[in-house]
């Protein structure tokens, strides 16, 4: 049998008064909320300059990745549009040919009618949904002349080919529509991220903008120092290699110079091409970064490298994701002028190396094509170095 106990109030005493447990819990919650309010920033508290700077950098990075996606989708759209145009032209030509074949069959039907021959069979053929079925069900073919048989065969062949091409064109149009929708989505994604970055920057006071500029200057100075270190390391390595080559020549005479000559010829060929690419890139310094642009008045990062190497006779793909796969990947320590430097794990940015740890690139929205250290965002964001020719 269950025991029954008389309920007795529990709680604590405040100033000699017993308070119910519920009231005690409420008081405790109020105290905790008060402490939380005092300890944590309010929901509408303003982010620090460092937080704004990181957020803006992240948004620009995301916008550039979205730009490369847009570039890839636009290339795909252009290719699909060419295919659709080609198919529609083919369908138009085949339809015209089909109409000619139909007219020829009509002339046979009219001739049969005038001579009192069996005209209704040919007329039925022209109206039939599937002429081949009609021939399978009748003996018309046995009553046609050789010329008529050829005309009928041509008509059937063209009708089948035209029907097939129309189906292909219809499918290609559907694919193109889907890709165009993806293109609009990519464009909206870029615009949204850029608008968010501009909104963050627009809310900064003059003092905060000055502090942000100081942060950027400090980062640039660190990047320049890192570039100078790379230049010194490469100069030392080159000097050491020259000394070793001179020592080997002294020891062995002219033996083994064929391989060296071949290597020098290869280097000379690459240098000549790289010089043309670099000359073009230098001429673009000062032009604005515009996402999706390939020149001549503005560029995005991959648009600039593509245009630069095109002047040297090397056709690079449109996007960073494809450019990274063209040519030979080399270590950073072996980087040479003309090489492409790719950044971030998602390979969303690229620059053209000019030497001494510096590159020419189209950096980001709101900026201009410029020469800058390849360490502008730190060494950790360098993905790879590719020699494209």
Tell me the catalytic residues.
301, 349, 361
Kindly give the interhelix angle for 49-114 and 146-202, rounded to the nearest 10 degrees.
160
Structure tokens at 345: 């794990």
Cα 223 to Cα 337: distance, rounded to the nearest angstrom: 18
Cα of first residue to Cα of last residue in the chain, in angstroms, is 94
Tell me which H or E stretch contains 333: none
Structure tokens at 279: 């000359």
Longest Cα–Cα distance of the chain, Å, equals 128
Sign of the alpha-carbon torsion through 371, 295, 276, 259: positive
Environment class of 362 (CB within 10 Å of its CB; exposed 0-12, middle 13-18, buried 19+): buried
Q: H helices of the chain, where?
A: 21-39, 49-114, 119-127, 131-137, 146-202, 206-252, 257-283, 301-310, 320-323
């Amino acid at each position: 049998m269950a025991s029954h106990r008389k309920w007795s109030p529990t709680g604590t005493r405040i100033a000699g008064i017993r308070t119910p447990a519920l009231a005690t819990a409420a008081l405790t919650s109020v105290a905790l909320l008060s402490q939380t309010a005092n300890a944590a920033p309010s929901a509408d508290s303003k982010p620090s300059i460092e937080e704004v700077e990181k957020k803006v950098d992240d948004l620009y990075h995301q916008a550039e990745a979205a730009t490369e996606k847009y570039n890839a989708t636009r290339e795909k759209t252009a290719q699909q549009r060419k295919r659709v145009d080609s198919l529609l032209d083919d369908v138009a030509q085949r339809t015209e040919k089909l109409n000619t074949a139909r007219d020829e069959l009509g002339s046979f039907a009219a001739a049969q009618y005038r001579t009192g021959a069996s005209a209704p069979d040919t007329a039925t053929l022209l109206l039939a949904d599937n002429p081949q079925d009609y021939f399978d069900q009748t003996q018309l073919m046995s009553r046609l002349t050789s010329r008529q048989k050829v005309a009928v065969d041509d008509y059937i062949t063209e009708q089948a080919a035209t029907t097939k091409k129309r189906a292909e064109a219809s499918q290609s149009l559907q694919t193109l529509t889907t890709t165009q929708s993806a293109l609009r989505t990519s464009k909206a994604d870029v615009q949204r991220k850029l608008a968010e970055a501009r909104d963050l920057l627009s809310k900064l006071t003059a003092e905060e903008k000055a502090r942000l500029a100081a942060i950027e200057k400090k980062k640039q100075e660190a990047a320049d120092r890192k570039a100078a270190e790379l230049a010194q390391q490469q100069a030392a390595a080159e000097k050491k290699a020259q000394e070793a080559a001179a020592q080997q020549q002294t020891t062995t005479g002219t033996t083994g110079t064929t391989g060296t000559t071949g290597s020098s010829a290869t280097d000379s060929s690459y240098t000549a091409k790289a010089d043309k690419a670099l000359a073009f890139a230098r001429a673009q310094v000062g032009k604005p970064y515009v996402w999706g642009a390939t020149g001549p008045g503005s560029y995005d990062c991959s648009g600039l490298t593509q245009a630069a190497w095109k002047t040297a006779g090397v056709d690079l793909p449109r996007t960073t994701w494809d450019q990274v796969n063209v040519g030979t990947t080399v270590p950073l320590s072996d980087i040479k002028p003309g090489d492409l430097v790719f950044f971030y794990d998602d390979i969303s940015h690229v620059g053209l190396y000019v030497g001494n740890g510096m590159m020419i690139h189209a950096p980001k929205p709101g900026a201009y094509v410029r020469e800058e250290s390849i360490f502008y965002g730190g060494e950790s964001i360098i993905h790879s170095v590719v020699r494209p020719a």
